Chains A and B, each alone.
Chain A
Amino acid sequence: MTYSADEMMTVAAARALRDGMTCFVGIGLPSAAANLARATHAPSLVLIYESGTLGAKPDRLPLSIGDGMLAETADAVVSVPEVFNYWLQPGRIDVGFLGAAQIDKFGNINTTVVGGDYRNPKVRLPGAGGAPEIAASCREVIVVIRQSHRSFVERADFITSVGYGSGPGDRERLGLTGAGPKKIITDLGVLEPDPDTLEFTMTGLYPGVSAAAAKERTGWDLAIAADPRIIAAPTPAELGALRAFRGEQGDKE
């Protein structure tokens, strides 16, 4: 069965979620992956959207974090101040599942401005949304983002959401209660922080992806694990579930 790089990425991201976890879900790629996980190996995954829908069980991919089916299928619907203050802030949520426009080698996320300076940006992005506090307070964070020279940078142009800041000790110094980003899942493979330096290292590659290709599509001097894991291709069941969600017949980039 042929599959696209985006499908491989979504499947790999879905596999990173364990059944029974509570997951704060960002819209876009993370939402697709979280819903795929719930449809396959993690039926008891608890999806929490910033619209205040706790335990949503959509049967197709929502376009926004506030689609009606999220409210109609949720275990509870709470206000927006409540979802952030009572549910996210105390560290009740296992994993924050985020997208990004730009990410740096310490997992800091930029979704605010690219190029120029803040008041005179080359590109104005949507901004923070729920991400800064999701990145700070979930027990751990997984980021899903396509890998390119432009999106994988030495230092983010603007730090919207903190990963490991400038390196070891920064999260503790800032009083961030969650453990920070544990995985970056891309369309080439998976990166994990080096246990000593916390710099993101390529630890897994998809079938057919070379270490050289991963280095070429990274804006910093990317370290590759000595023996990178080759991640299994999507199974027909995974692809079937993903495509059923999307209402798609074939590959689509």
Chain B
Amino acid sequence: MAEIVSLAEAVEGAIHDGDAVAMEGFTHLIPFAAGHEVIRQRRRDLTLIRMTPDLIYDQLIGAGCASKLIFSWGGNPGVGSLHRFRDAVENAWPVPLEIEEHSHAGMANRYVAGASGLPFAVLRGYRGTGLETLNGAVGTTPTIKPITCPFTGETLTAVSALRPDVAVVHAQRADRSGNVQLWGITGVQKEAVLASRRAVVTVEEIVDELDPRPGAVVLPSWTVTYVAQAPDGARPSYALGYSVRDNDYYVGWDAIARDRDAFTRWLDEQVYAMPVTTGSAVRS
């Protein structure tokens, strides 16, 4: 059964130095408040897993929380580069960042394999791309290998399962027993939670009863470790029905992230100086 705790307690209890952490949410429902709490608690040496690192991992990488990133698209959507991610890869600032790189289809299937209790997933993908030949020949990328279909003899691609130590997701709401409900673009959150050993869910609100919603994903309380209330905890991403995506923040982030000093100031003012669950801004 999920325990309902404060966000600070959830991060302290579930996320430890050296953990593999998957904070998911595909553009929608990105758990920014939880990410900022991880920065405030100064976690180090994390393996960060996320299909789209987005601003949330740009911030964690720039803050020096990560030693490895597993991802499939590292840009600022519709804006350009993630400059903290690039600075880490190109110049090892503030610390070196190892990368493990996939396509979206590959990452999604790696979560599916993890959630399914399988060691790998099969897809039509990667054939002929540089991703499957990073170390030379096809078959030498440790997490991407060709596999022969035992029924047709066709060559397909196997990707190894993702089994994070902890998944972190944001949802619209939970009930007092810790059952979680999310809707709109639901991305890979269900798969990430079920693939992980522990799960932290932040929610817009905690309600007495979850009335059914068409198309909603429900994570039963017994699949979740901690539920923490974090209103507006997805900003500058959004929670459908509660908030809209703060596109100006995404655009404004570019100038802050381009410059190490501007970023460091932002970190001091908008994260370290802020109480837990308070959203950050790109302008003061």
- Residues of chain A having any CB pair with chain B under 8 Å: 27-28, 50-53, 62-68, 70-72, 77, 79-81, 84-85, 88-89, 112, 118, 121, 123-133, 136-137, 158-162, 165, 170, 174-177
Residue of B nearest to A84 (CB): B105
In angstroms, how far is the closest chain A Cβ from the Cβ of B78? 4
Q: For A62, what are the chain B residues with a Cβ–Cβ distance below 8 Å?
A: 78
Q: Tell me whether A132 and B129 are in contact (CB under 8 A).
A: yes
Residue of A nearest to B81 (CB): A126
Mask, B86-117, CB within 8 Å of A = 1, is 10011000000000011111001101100000
User: Complex Cα distance A165/B138, Å?
Assistant: 15
User: Complex Cα distance A140/B125, Å?
Assistant: 16
Confirm or deny: B215 has a beta carbon within 8 angstroms of a beta carbon on chain A: yes
User: Complex Cα distance A133/B104, Å?
Assistant: 9
- Which of B81, B154, B185 is A71 in contact with, Cβ under 8 Å? B185
Q: If A27-B78, A126-B73, A133-B103 touch, does A112 touch B128 (CB 8 Å cutoff)?
A: no
The number of chain B residues touching the other chain, given as a range, is 35 or more
User: Complex Cα distance A66/B167, Å?
Assistant: 21
Q: For A133, what are the chain B residues with a Cβ–Cβ distance below 8 Å?
A: 103-105, 123-125
Mask, B52-90, CB within 8 Å of A = 1, is 100000000000000000011111011101100110011
Minimum-distance CB pairs A-B, first 3: A66-B27, A126-B75, A64-B77
- Which of B27, B101, B125, B156 is A127 in contact with, Cβ under 8 Å? B101
Q: Tell me whether B78 and A64 are in contact (CB under 8 A).
A: yes
Q: If A52-B185, A132-B129 touch, does A27 touch B77 (CB 8 Å cutoff)?
A: yes
10 further A-B contacts with Cβ under 8 Å, apart from A77-B185, A133-B124, A174-B127, are A28-B78, A64-B77, A77-B186, A79-B187, A112-B131, A124-B86, A130-B103, A137-B124, A170-B128, A176-B128
In angstroms, how far is the closest chain B Cβ from the Cβ of A209? 27
Q: For B90, what are the chain A residues with a Cβ–Cβ distance below 8 Å?
A: 121, 123-124
In angstroms, how far is the closest chain B Cβ from the Cβ of A159? 5
Confirm or deny: B210 has a beta carbon within 8 angstroms of a beta carbon on chain A: no
Q: For A127, what are the chain B residues with a Cβ–Cβ distance below 8 Å?
A: 71-75, 101
Q: Tell me whether A68 and B240 are in contact (CB under 8 A).
A: yes
User: Complex Cα distance A160/B106, Å?
Assistant: 13
Confirm or deny: B155 has a beta carbon within 8 angstroms of a beta carbon on chain A: yes
Q: For B184, what are the chain A residues with a Cβ–Cβ distance below 8 Å?
A: 68, 71, 77
Most chain B beta carbons < 10 A, residue from A112, A136, A160, A162: A136
Most chain B beta carbons < 10 A, residue from A66, A72, A159, A160: A66
- Which of B77, B129, B190 is A63 in contact with, Cβ under 8 Å? B77
Q: Tell me whether A89 and B105 are in contact (CB under 8 A).
A: yes
What are 7 A-to-B residue pairs whose CB atoms are below 8 Å? Answer: A68-B184, A79-B188, A80-B104, A80-B188, A88-B105, A127-B74, A176-B127
Residue of A nearest to B88 (CB): A124
- Which of A51, A65, A79, A161 is B190 in contact with, Cβ under 8 Å? A79
Q: For A27, what are the chain B residues with a Cβ–Cβ distance below 8 Å?
A: 77-78
Q: If A85-B123, A162-B129 touch, does A66 touch B28 (CB 8 Å cutoff)?
A: yes
Q: Tell me whether A66 and B26 are in contact (CB under 8 A).
A: yes
Confirm or deny: B207 has a beta carbon within 8 angstroms of a beta carbon on chain A: no
Most chain A beta carbons < 10 A, residue from B51, B75, B130, B215: B130
Q: For B104, what are the chain A residues with a Cβ–Cβ distance below 8 Å?
A: 50, 80, 84, 128-130, 133
